[in-house]
Amino acid sequence: MSDTQPGIEALGAWLETPPGQYLLAWEQAQLDRVVSDVFGFHALQIGLPELDGLRANRMPHRWVALDAGHAPRTAAVFAHGDALPFAERSLDLVVLPHTLELARDPHRTLAEVERVLMPEGRVVILGFNAASLWGLRQRLGRLRRKAPSFLPRPGEFIGYWRLRDWLRLLSFEVEGGRFGAYRPALGAQRWLDRFAWMDRVGDRWWPVFGAVYMVVAVKRVRGMRLVGLAKRERTKAVAAPAVVTNIQSRRQPKKDS
């Protein structure tokens, strides 16, 4: 997409609907679980301020990077995901919640994430799963132009296995993956509630057909071996026409039950 703003606005509006809130709840729980055990000094979330992807992380320096046209609810770094105002090998954790689907160039965005990550740094990626009931309804909506789409039209699905191939080409090692949100593509809260049982059995009976997936990958550097807490030179963000504000003053994360 040449301009990501329509896609960002469409996704933000959709997330206020019942299925959007259902999706956010699952994604927030997963991010809280995986980022709590990632240690270091600098963490970044790119896009989707509706999710607080770093609230359970304990790193002293945490930021959210947003498109300059997107009015944030919290302090942020204003930048595109494919041109981050951070030095090479300066971040320990990057979270991409549906970022690649709305990126101007998802390949370049992922390469930029690889550039700014420290060796052994981690990236956490969330994306819609095309091989799901939600993906099926979305494809049918696009084939029938008069039929309403279930998900926002801007952006496109990036398949789970396709994403893993992209990560391997950039020398990432996939550490884990998980699917979730197994309820049908329904817009009303009462119908979503009726199918709540599908979440309880989805992981066991049809795990790869969840509406959304999460991938955790580690940046590997050949020939490098880290022993203990390696001494690392920490550099400040590269000067850029961006407003950078740290978000260290968030409330303490709730522990997973």
**pLDDT at position 229 over 60:** no
Residue 93 is predicted with a pLDDT of 97
Residue 239 maps to a domain: no
Residue 59 maps to a domain: yes
| Total of domains in the chain | 1
> Is pLDDT larger for residue 108 or for residue 233?
108
| CATH code assigned at 188 | 3.40.50.150
Find out whether 150 and 138 touch, Cβ atoms under 8 Å.
yes
pLDDT category at 236 given cuts 50, 70, 90 is very low
Lowest mean pLDDT among 152-161, 175-184, 185-194, 201-210: 152-161
Residue 249 maps to a domain: no
Q: Provide the residue range defining the domain that includes 202.
A: 5-219
> Is pLDDT larger for residue 56 or for residue 152?
56
Residue 248 maps to a domain: no
> Is pLDDT larger for residue 173 or for residue 66?
173
Residue 234 maps to a domain: no
- What Cα–Cα distance (Å) separates residue 133 from each residue in 9, 128, 143? 24, 11, 16
Residue 88 maps to a domain: yes
pLDDT category at 38 given cuts 50, 70, 90 is very high
Q: ∠ at Cα 158 (154, 163), nearest 5°?
A: 150
Contacts of residue 97, defined as CB under 8 A and 6 or more positions apart, other chains included, come to 27, 31, 45, 47, 48, 51, 53, 126
Global pTM reads: 0.81
pLDDT tens across 194-228, in order? 999 999 998 888 889 999 999 999 999 876 555 55
User: Within a 10 A sphere around the Cβ of 255, how many other Cβ atoms?
Assistant: 8
Residue 23 is predicted with a pLDDT of 95
pLDDT category at 238 given cuts 50, 70, 90 is very low
pLDDT category at 119 given cuts 50, 70, 90 is very high
Q: Identify the residue whose tokens are 């990077």.
A: 65
Residue 80 maps to a domain: yes
